[in-house]
Amino acid sequence: MFIILQGGCAGTTEDNVPEQTLYHQLGGMPGIDRIVAGLLWEIAEDSRILPLFTKTNITRFQEKLAEQLCDIADGPCTYTGDTMKEAHRRLAVTPAQFNNLVDGLIRVMEREGISVGAQNALLQRLALMHGDIVFS
């Protein structure tokens, strides 16, 4: 069972974030929090990827994922979590599991009404992490 927290990133301000950033297209911090919460439900319902999260501190994962999405979307956050390589090095994530998680993220963004352009922009930025997550 996942606990859903609303929060965003601490110590940030949206006052200086240009309105046309990917961050704003995702709905700002409230939108990112909804995306992360939705993704947690997707993970919980997917037996192919759920085993990767059995030893995960879900509260920390949720906080750091929101912080990371905010950061890479040009929002007011700075990602302070582990590197993707460090966080995933012992998990043996397969390409199929990676793709299943991406599919879940797409479903969440579609439900949230995120434009296809914004979805593609986020996915393009996240794709850069593939080599640090999947060790094949």
SS3 for 45-84, per residue?
HCCCCHHHHCCCCHHHHHHHHHHHHHHHCCCCCCCCCCCH
**Residue 24 assigned to a binding site:** no
Which CATH number applies to 22-133?
1.10.490.10
Read off the pTM.
0.84
**How does pLDDT run across 19-61, given as a tens digit for each residue?**
689 999 999 999 999 999 999 999 999 999 999 999 999 999 9
Q: Where are the domains of the chain?
A: 22-133
pLDDT at 49: 94
